[in-house]
Amino acid sequence: MIKECVIASIPLNGSMFLIKNRDRNYIPQIALAHKLYGDVEVFFYKDLNTGWIEGINSYGIAIINSSLTVGYDEKEFHIAKKNKSKGDGEKILEALKQKTLKDACRVLWNKDYKLYGHTFINYGAKSYAVECTPNSKVFINRITDIRVETNHGKMTYKTGYIEGKSKISTHARQIIAKHELEKVDDAEDLLSAIGKNYINWDSQYQPYRITPQKVKGLNDAMWTTMQILFDTEDLYCEINYEEKGCLIKKKYISLPKGYEPKINFRINKIQTQ
């Protein structure tokens, strides 16, 4: 399994957004959950194939990630099947149960565990980029403008895709996504900005990747299976998922009776382009 993605952090119209194109070379089976953990409300999705989780909580913490450890990720699909995965998804969920940014970061980056790759973590109006690999220290920077990351290192040396067509892809997807997002002035257009189809440009080098034939199991080509948006000021999540390239298998909406949700969400099934 390969985890190639486009992630972005964008301050816009008084809110702070995280968005993501989630690319896979298999058809993911997804569960959606909206739960209370004590007095922390969490909305998240979980990839049932691998256990991967991303989400938002009622204290304005949201987390998205894009891979830099591509060699590990190519093996992870098979590792997860044997129930021997690194457990990143459960760590992210544990971080989403926290009430402060400091506590969430302590879960994800400590002496015993590090979430690898590019991670964007929001706390209300504040957004941070965290980058690390198994052999690097943890780099963390405050984000104050549009920032886009794909699958090559910025602070870590020679990480991610650094040669050949894969290098072209990761850089092209980053440049195009940033160019399109710089033109957006309405939050409703954020996901469509990184969802365009450039007809005369190879899909594998676009932020939103289209594969004409999607079959169960592994494919050589990548396609965008989901788009995710988190608004950590207004506590809102939006997910677009590909009709034929992603399966929403389960929904766990288990809030107590009479409880007024703090997090709103919208799930959109979109037709394969």
Per-residue pLDDT tens over the stretch 183-217: 999 999 999 999 998 878 888 899 999 865 555 45
pLDDT (tens digit, 9 = 90+) per residue, 65-112? 999 986 544 444 444 444 444 699 999 999 999 999 999 999 999 999
Angle CA 254–260–262, to nearest 5: 90
pLDDT(228) > 70: yes
**At how many degrees (to 10) do helices 101-108 and 88-96 cross?**
170
Q: State whether residue 218 is helix, strand or coil.
A: coil
Using the structure block, give the residue that is written with the tokens 């290098």.
167
Chain center to CA of 249:
19
Question: What's the average model confidence in pLDDT over 225-239?
Answer: 97
Cβ–Cβ < 8 Å for 106, 130: no
Per-residue pLDDT, 210? 86
- DSSP 8-state symbol, 255: P
DSSP codes, 58-101: TTSEEEEEE-S-HHHHHHHHHHHHTT----HHHHHHHHHT-SSH
Q: Quick check: pTM over 0.75?
A: yes
- Does the pLDDT value for residue 270 go beyond 80? yes
The 10s digit of each residue's pLDDT in 25-52 is 889 999 999 999 999 999 999 999 999 9
